[in-house]
Amino acid sequence: MSRSGFAILVGRPNVGKSTLTNALVGQPVAITSSRPQTTRHTIRGVLNRGDDQLILVDTPGIHRPRTLLGRRLNDLVLTTMSEVDVVVLCLPADQKIGPGDTFIAERLLELRRQKLVVAVTKSDVVSRDMIASRLMEASRFADSMGLQVSDFVPVSGAEGDNVDELAHVLASLLPEGPRLFGDEITDQPERVVVAELIRESALERLRDELPHSVAVDIDEMGMREGRRPDDPLMDIYAVIYVERSSQKPIVLGRRGEQLKAIGAQARAKIEALLGTRVYLDLHVKIAKDWQNSPGQLRRLGF
């Protein structure tokens, strides 16, 4: 009998959840960056293993919220956790377990039905001995919290180490049942993926606190009419929103060079994803204090 179901990856910001999700799926479905709080949605990626189907749910890092957006994202993760089959708590191998993990573990105690797996992530950045002691530490932590853990798996999403083993462990914990998804690898609409790729390019280029202030919205997206069938072109009109007027010139850069570079980088990624040439029209606008404004959050899809 085949197994199918959902496994959610949870943990503090920046512990490697999205990198691991992409590694498990085998293709990028979630953007990643060195900045904490990169992921802002629950993102589903599908892995078919023989007859089994494992649906991974990447989530925003759970953190002490400083904005309305932060509170919404925490609530989103906590609600989504109660709807899946397996919860994967991600603890990075290069950091000690701390109060942020305790906060998450307390939420896990409230779950009834879900199986729990601990992934010790970023295993490539520490020695074998260190991995062993992290696994022990994680096991003591789970005991002290009163958490029942089905398995502890060291893994590196970046290097691919032990990713298949983790997939095997997760699939074995799923309920029996037929596939829930067809051939798609993610449930995200194309325009969401495109907006995320633009935001990823902005995150890579912008410094300091600015990445948190950026949101991307697609105004319009469609094939250009009147093109030869063998040379299609997609038009994409997108807006990068910042929170304050002082941030706009930073995103634009001198003579608009920063924005141009963000656009060029994003366009290459979008063309690779969609397999067609793209005309990307990017503008910067101010959505005043959007992370704390219910109206702006709604408009931006939160």
Ligand X SMILES: Nc1nc2c(ncn2[C@@H]2O[C@H](COP(=O)(O)OP(=O)(O)OP(=O)(O)O)[C@@H](O)[C@H]2O)c(=O)[nH]1
Residues that bind ligand X (CB under 6 A): 13-19, 32-34, 36-39, 60-61, 121-122, 124-125, 156-158
Q: Closest distance between Mg ion and the C-beta of residue 116, in Å?
A: 20
Q: Closest distance between ligand X and the C-beta of residue 31, in Å?
A: 7
Q: Closest distance between Mg ion and the C-beta of residue 45, in Å?
A: 12
CA-to-CA dists, residue 209 to 37, 221, 289, angstroms: 11, 29, 14
Q: Closest distance between Mg ion and the C-beta of residue 149, in Å?
A: 22
By beta carbon distance, the residue nearest ligand X is: 61
39 binds Mg ion (CB under 5 A): yes
18 binds Mg ion (CB under 5 A): yes
Q: Which is nearer to ligand X, 209 or 220 (CB)?
A: 209
34-42, 176-184, 196-204, 217-225 -> range binding Mg ion (CB under 5 A)? 34-42
Strand 86-92 and strand 52-58: the pairing is unpaired
22 binds Mg ion (CB under 5 A): no
31-39, 88-96, 198-206, 212-220 -> range binding Mg ion (CB under 5 A)? 31-39
Q: Which is nearer to ligand X, 16 or 263 (CB)?
A: 16
The token duo for 21 is: 């999700």
Which residues contact residue 28 at a Cβ distance below 8 angstroms, ignoring those fewer than 6 apart? 22
Using CA atoms, how far apart are residues 64 and 140, in angstroms rounded to an integer? 24
Contact present, 91 and 71 (Cβ < 8 Å): no
For 184, the 3-state DSSP assignment is: coil
Q: What is the DSSP letter of 176?
A: B
Using CA atoms, how far apart are residues 7 and 56, in angstroms rounded to an integer? 5
Residue 222 dihedral angles phi and psi, to the nearest 5°: -175, 160
Using CA atoms, how far apart are residues 40 and 37, in angstroms rounded to an integer? 7
Strand 4-10 and strand 86-92: the pairing is parallel
Q: Which is nearer to ligand X, 3 or 17 (CB)?
A: 17
Q: Which does 291 bind (CB under 5 to 8 A by kind): ligand X, Mg ion, none?
A: none
Q: Which is nearer to ligand X, 158 or 274 (CB)?
A: 158
Q: Which is nearer to ligand X, 34 or 245 (CB)?
A: 34
Tell which residue, 188, 243, 234, 251, has the closest CA to residue 68: 243
Q: Closest distance between ligand X and the C-beta of residue 36, in Å?
A: 5
What is the contact surface with Mg ion in residues (CB under 5 A)?
17-18, 38-39
